[in-house]
Amino acid sequence: MRKIFLTAIALLSMASASVFGMYGVDTDWIFFLTHGNQFRARLDQLGFTLGNDTIKGTFGFDNNADFGGVYGSLLSENSEYPAQGRGFNYDFKPSISMGLGYTSSLISVGVGYNVTIGKKGYKQNGNADFSKPYNPVAHTPVLVLNALDNAFRMAIPIQVYVMNDKDDTGTKNNITAVSVDSQFRYYTGLDMLPQIRLYLRYGGGNYKEGTQSEKIGESFGFDFRLYFGSMVEEVALQPYVRLAYNGALGKYHRTTRVEAVKIMNANGFSVLNSVLAKGAWDLNLVAGLGLTANSDIVSLYLEPTLGLKVEQPGSTDKNAKEVYSLGYGVYAEIYITPLKNLEWYFEASIGNVDTTTKGVAFAGTTGITWYLPAL
């Protein structure tokens, strides 16, 4: 017990003195309880996870790329400042994470927390114009739980964003947004069906001015995946099928997936007062194939995917038709381990399966992982 207590003190001391981190505001937290001791430095994240067989902790930042940050950069130019004669300015927009967990073979539990800094904006704050600069902040508490010797895993992050202001007449206005992006995994131990995943998502937001309240949006979604497995010589095959749905709840908005941090990073909101004849939704059916090959120094993971997307845009026309499209993607990871505990990582993806823009999107990151001994 004394060793556990001293380890916890050491972790908290390092956290208070460091500006590192590993996890964003989504379900990447599901890896926290199974990650070994490591220091990670990549283009989009910098952090560590440390602990022993019983207790572990993490601290640091992610660059928040999926929610309005710049991929591969923790700083981005804020062009509004020069336009308003305020001089050149950068926004530092990370998601700072910290967490503490208890691990055992029977059950492991962890709690995490993210504070996410948004783009600098302005508040009216009782003045005649929007003159007071401020950085919006979102908060994400997280619950992580593993059981059955890590065969069952779950992570439930809850994003919360609140902005309060008032105009020069004293009328108060505020934005409130909450979203949940939960993930559940079960590793069956079967060769033919090794893994099952379920993602459940909910989001909702409101804008209030004085006594008048309007809905920004409300949505529900799920993502269900079945993974299969086999070996062909020295290559591990893991084909999978994925069914994903996102839809607006009610007929007052066109957003199929409301996320609190995205509302904050948009530095604004859209309130629709008209009732839509058809609510917005989209459905994705994707087939993918994971291929893994290893050598003493190099490990390769390659995942081509092919998908069908059915989309119903929110419309005031009750006769509006669904839009069908085909998508594809190729995702790859390369791990190079020149030394036993030092690893170079490269990730790349190209495709249009899940992008909202037309054409091809490409993204990638790289960095090192230094695997550290237990405390």
Give pLDDT tens digits for 246-291. 999 977 678 899 999 988 877 544 555 567 888 899 999 999 999 9
Cα distance between residue 79 and residue 102, in whole Å: 44
**Burial of 259 from C-beta contacts in 10 A (0-12 / 13-18 / 19+):** buried
Q: Which of 58-72, 147-161, 238-252, 328-342 has the highest mean pLDDT?
A: 147-161
Question: What is the rounded average pLDDT of the residues 189-205?
Answer: 95
**Res. 47: pLDDT tops 60:** yes
Banded model confidence at residue 88, pLDDT cuts 50, 70, 90:
low
Indicate the range of 20-29, 174-183, 259-268 predicted with least confidence. 20-29
Number of helices (H) and strands (E) in the chain: give both, helices first: 3, 21
DSSP 28: G
Asked if 352 contacts 360 with a C-beta cutoff of 8 angstroms, the reply is: yes
What class is the 95-371 domain?
mainly beta
pTM: 0.85
Residues in a beta bridge with 115? 96, 139
pLDDT in tens, 98-113: 999 999 999 999 999 9
What's the distance, CA 123 to chain centroid? 27
Taking alpha carbons only, the member of 165, 156, 175, 139 closest to residue 263 is: 175
Cα distance between residue 134 and residue 138, in whole Å: 13
Question: What is the rounded average pLDDT of the residues 174-182?
Answer: 94
Q: Which of 8-22, 308-322, 359-373 has the highest mean pLDDT?
A: 308-322
**Above pLDDT 90, what percent of the chain?**
47
Residues in a beta bridge with 132? 123
Asked if 144 contacts 103 with a C-beta cutoff of 8 angstroms, the reply is: no
Token representation of residue 219: 């949505």
Question: What is the rounded average pLDDT of the residues 16-36?
Answer: 73
Banded model confidence at residue 204, pLDDT cuts 50, 70, 90:
very high
| Residue count (the chain) | 375
Asked if 313 contacts 320 with a C-beta cutoff of 8 angstroms, the reply is: yes
Amino acid sitting at position 11: L
- The residue ranges of every structural domain in the chain are 95-371
The dihedral built from the CA positions of residue 3, 8, 13 and 17, taken in this order, carries a sign that is: positive
366 vs 139, higher pLDDT: 139
